[in-house]
Amino acid sequence: MQLAPLRIEGFDFGRLIGPDGEPAAAELFAARRDALLAALDETTPDAVITELFPLGRRGLAAEFLALVEAARASEPRPLILSSVRDILVAPDRPSKVDEAHERIAALYDAVLVHGDPALVPLDASWPVDARLADKLRYTGYVDEGGVQPVTAERKGILVAAGSSAAGLGLFRAAVEAARLRPDLGWRLLVGHGIPDETLATLSGSLPPGTVMRARPDYRALLAQASVSVSQCGYNTAVDLLVTDTPAVLVPFEAGRETEQRLRAERLAALSRARIVPEEELSAKALLAAIIGLGGPALAGQAIALDGGARTVAIVQAMHRETLFDRLRTALDRAARDGRAVCLWWRDDDAVAATPALDRLLSLADGRPLLIAAIPAGIEPSLGQRLARAQNVSVAVHGLGHDNHAPSGEKPAEFGPRRDRSRLREEARRALDLARGALPASLLLPVFVPPWNRMDAAFAAELAGLGYFGLSAAGGAPVPGLARADATLDVIDWRGTRSLRDPASLIAALAAHAETGAGTTLGLLTHHLAHDEAVWDFLEKVLPVLDHPAIRWCDPRDLFLEAVDATGTAPISPPAEWPRAG
């Protein structure tokens, strides 16, 4: 959403100009503020990130503060983050620094610094005190240029002269240097802010193809050059770090600008970069710096350049922790109200002892767990491993987990399109196989249909085949069976096949804590299909669920009492079926 634009003239940052060229009026600021607040209300974001403010952009403090304060008053409250580059311009008065730090401490969850302290720590340009230090999160440099193969044999001097007045000065000096030493091989890229006539006048005596307008393949040209000559803005520094090109830097220093000079000094201290100050800029000075280049390569400095991905990861992790806080609050409230929050856990598709199964059992750490095993695939190692585990039971997960659904339909092994007698035969055989492969103390005669799908009419026949329970992903009660479904699946099967949106998972747990009195929520995992994102989520959420309000239900209790065809009278379970505890 584009707000009504504002700009400055020269270096007068205290005088903002509106779209009409006149000083911005109160009505314009009010319209921008109202638009921000409307966007906040419409989007209900997970995070609000303000660029530079409150460590800069003091002239727009009123609208930034209106947005941040409205966000803090929202329910649920989004994360409030500030986003800054690697180097800041400190205010001219300590009182302004103190004001910025007070706002960070009172209003913000973190400050994202898009740099690497190995190159430039924030305190190199800004006074960092305890209030700010605890909030800093370094992301690494944000590289939007992509990977660029470096040419084995570099040659030539690549000059990038921008569109500003400083760029024109650099362009003039580079043109004269190219006339003095044409043998070095020059290519000058000039921004579109420099008029064509100026370009033609200054470069007319140079060979054709030496001077050209700025190009989108700048990084590819940089990777082929033996030396780069440029200013030292943020993106230029990233380009040099990625391509490891020796550089002569002419940092922009007009007004109170110190950012480029500090960044250039840090690069010069770590690389083959040399600095030519603006006040000393000349053709001879450029040539002397180019010829004098040397030293270690940039690539050996291991500066973080994955700031885009790391920023996302940091925000996601902070958001998840915020969600955990909300879950803790819901559980605390349930404990105060004397409400038990009932959970149970089912894991599907086991066939053998595997490292993934070991990891699952380690995570469970004695919490009751029902493992749905595929009878036709059970190996001896599965029973042997589970016999050593605590509070583990095993259910019957279909027969072979084979898809018999017609093409174009959702997969199912016990679906409505198959012959009923065949279903009965396979369900009976599945239970027999499970009984033969597993210790009686582990097995529960509970049927778990693969893909959580089965013919609803056939489900009523399971009790007559020796089953006492049914577990899927939701459905109507079945006469003769105890039913407990696992509806909170942690995997996004229809999308990434990795972790489902953690916000939705935690929100479901919090909602159950708030409104699920008298019901049991089933957690569903698939240990053989977990990637690190799924494992990481489980490792973080399970300790949160070790809360006084949580009651982990043992599957042997959930399915202990089946019911007869009337749906009311209990049927005694088999004698070898031990009760939990």
- Interval 456-479: pLDDT, tens: 999 999 999 999 999 999 888 998
Rg value, the chain, Cα:
33
- What distances in angstroms separate CA 124 from CA 118, 128, 232, 265, one per listed residue? 11, 9, 16, 11
One-letter amino acid for residue 173 of the chain = A
Phi-psi group of 391: left, alpha or beta (phi > 0 → left; psi -120 to 50 → alpha; rest → beta)? left
- Degrees (nearest 5) of the Cα angle 213, 215, 218? 125
Reported as a pLDDT band with limits 50, 70 and 90, residue 154 is confident
pLDDT at 359: 97
Q: What is the mean pLDDT of the chain?
A: 90
DSSP 8-state class, residue 579 = P
| Region 36-59 average pLDDT | 94
- What distances in angstroms separate CA 217 from CA 72, 148, 479, one per listed residue? 43, 10, 70
Architecture of domain 157-304: 3-Layer(aba) Sandwich (3.40)
Question: Is 339-571 the same fold as 157-304?
Answer: no
The residues spanned by each domain of the chain are 26-138, 157-304, 339-571
pLDDT, tens digit, 9 for 90 and up, residues 202-221: 888 888 888 888 888 899 99
Contact 248, 293 (CB under 8 A): yes
Spell out the alpha helix ranges (H) of 365-487. Answer: 380-386, 420-437, 456-459
Place of tokens 């996004």: 492
Asked whether residue 553 carries a pLDDT value surpassing 80, the answer given is: yes
| Region 104-109 average pLDDT | 96
Q: Could you tell me which of 273, 192, 293, 195 has the C-alpha nearest to residue 231?
A: 273
| C-alpha neighbours within 13 Å on the C-beta side of residue 407 | 0
Spell out the alpha helix ranges (H) of 17-93. Answer: 26-43, 61-72
Helix (H) or strand (E) holding 355: helix 355-364
How many C-beta atoms lie closer than 10 Å to residue 102's C-beta?
12
pLDDT, tens digit, 9 for 90 and up, residues 232-269: 999 999 999 988 899 999 998 876 778 999 999 999 98
Reported as a pLDDT band with limits 50, 70 and 90, residue 281 is very high
pLDDT at 565: 37
- The span from the CA of 471 to the CA of 448, in Å, is 5
Asked whether residue 32 carries a pLDDT value surpassing 90, the answer given is: yes
- In a 10 Å sphere around its CB, with 0-12 CB exposed, 13-18 middle and 19+ buried, how is residue 183 labelled? exposed
pLDDT at 561: 54
Architecture of domain 339-571: Alpha-Beta Barrel (3.20)
3-class secondary-structure state, position 347:
strand
- The span from the CA of 524 to the CA of 506, in Å, is 14
pLDDT at 165: 60
Reported as a pLDDT band with limits 50, 70 and 90, residue 13 is confident
Beta bridge partners of 489: 524
- In a 10 Å sphere around its CB, with 0-12 CB exposed, 13-18 middle and 19+ buried, how is residue 296 labelled? exposed
- In a 10 Å sphere around its CB, with 0-12 CB exposed, 13-18 middle and 19+ buried, how is residue 359 labelled? middle
Contact 385, 440 (CB under 8 A): no
3-class secondary-structure state, position 384:
helix
